[in-house]
Chains A and B, each alone.
Chain A
Amino acid sequence: MRTLTDAWAWLTDSAHWAGDDGIGHRLLQHLVLTVVCLVISCLIALPVALVLGHLGKGGALAVNISNAGRAVPAFAVLVLLLLTPIGSWGEGPSVVALVLFAVPPLLTNAYVGMREVDRSIVQAARGMGMTGRQMLFHVELPLSLPMVLTGVRIAAVQLVATATIAALAGGGGLGRIITAGFNLASTPMVVAGAILVAVFALIVEGVFELAERLAPVRLRGSR
């Protein structure tokens, strides 16, 4: 309990919110890093997954890439990137590593969603004379949207977690408060940073959960 009150005192001290190492700036860094990387990852993964799903090709790759992604430690990738020339680009290693870890869940979920669209509906669309493009955008994509969005949510949570680990390899974001706390041997600071990160991650998860609930009925998954 003592540590929690100390951590609370640390969090509510206005001096800790200001400046480049302050909570405000770290929070902004974390948010920007997460959002930017989520957008980049979606731009990379979703078109590939939708086309592969539409053509019904590359399924083994799309599904197994998630399992492979789980076996590779984010921390190792971050440090490896840091020691390559990318390491001199400031946030370069963080951005590349974050995108690498967000792409697999996006790819897998969008691909599976596309393939789970009822085949008879797709055949009906083809029978009506729809072109491939029309089928993709007017039939398959709308029907697979719940799965696609589940992938986006998983990717977003993954991004928040990886962005935290990025601090271990010198990246910015809320994780820096934790690493700084360890370096200063200040348990209240470590715990305060951890609470911020945990709350941030839960809010991200909560926002997606809420969006799913508020979405029109036809967008909701069977979950």
Chain B
Amino acid sequence: MTAPPNDCLARNEWICGAYLTSRRQILLDAVGQHLRLTAVSVLVGLVIAVPLAVLARRRRWSAAPVLGVTTILYTIPSLAMFSLLLPLYGLSATLVVAGLVLYSLTLLVRNILAGLRAVPEETRQAARGLGYGPIRLLLTVELPLALPAAMAGLRIATVSAVSLVTVGAIVGFGGLGNLIYAGMNTYFKAQVLTASVLCVLIAVAADLLLLGVQRLLTPWTRAARA
């Protein structure tokens, strides 16, 4: 089956079991890099987005500029975004992370803000009446109630990040995108297809994982529906 002159690698077939076994380490490394780049960017994005959304909610004047800037950032195509960051970060993984953070910001800020705005005024007033200060109100009332909307944004941001990491191949840090890029230059069909399918699988797995986390974090939404 794996006789060198006539196996699926030599025939350059799309689907090739021999590719999976012979390039296992390369694939694992690429998946690892892909996951690291995605996770770091989404987490950094989240750390920046939460205070921005809270600021936009608390200080009415800041909502328009915050949303405006993040929307403009989101309009810039990914390849251009990475290229614009080149003078700042050079050919590095940081460049890819920085670009992805800027994209996830838009989705996260918009969704967290929508979640915070959807907290009923009566709920906030009830909490204030119980003597909650602004910080306690935010942490124990507003943010938990904004969780479903925030998690929806987090899921979209994560799935987008998984697919955008591939463009990082232009600077050599694209996770599975590197394999797609190299496979394109050598017309290596099995490599391109395998890496592409893995990308989609990672995106779906991440989405399902976050959906599970959301269910765990917001048990009351299930109770209400049942």
Contacts and interface: CB of A to CB of B under 8 A. Distances in A.
A80 B164 CA distance: 16
Contacts of B170: 168, 178-179, 182
Interface SS of chain A: helix
Contacts, number: 126
A75 interface: yes
Contact of B77 (A3, A70, A164, A191): A164
Contact of A83 (B81, B167, B187, B195): B187
Interface in A74-102: 74-77, 79-80, 82-83
A219 interface: no
Given A83-B189, A198-B77, A198-B80, A3 B159 contact: no
- Sorted nearest first, the 8 A-B pairs with minimum C-beta distance are A194-B83, A161-B77, A76-B196, A3-B87, A71-B203, A197-B80, A73-B163, A194-B80
B184 interface: yes
A76 B180 contact: yes
Interface in B46-86: 72, 75-81, 83-84, 86
A21 interface: no
Interface centre among B75, B77, B163 (most CB of A within 10 A): B77
B182 to A, nearest CB: 10
B144 interface: no
20 contacts: A4-B87, A70-B159, A71-B162, A73-B163, A73-B164, A73-B200, A76-B163, A79-B181, A79-B196, A83-B187, A165-B77, A167-B79, A168-B167, A175-B79, A178-B79, A187-B87, A193-B80, A193-B83, A194-B83, A201-B75
Given A165-B78, A190-B83, A201-B77, A75 B177 contact: yes
Contacts of A165: 77-79, 167
Contact of A168 (B81, B181, B183, B199): B181
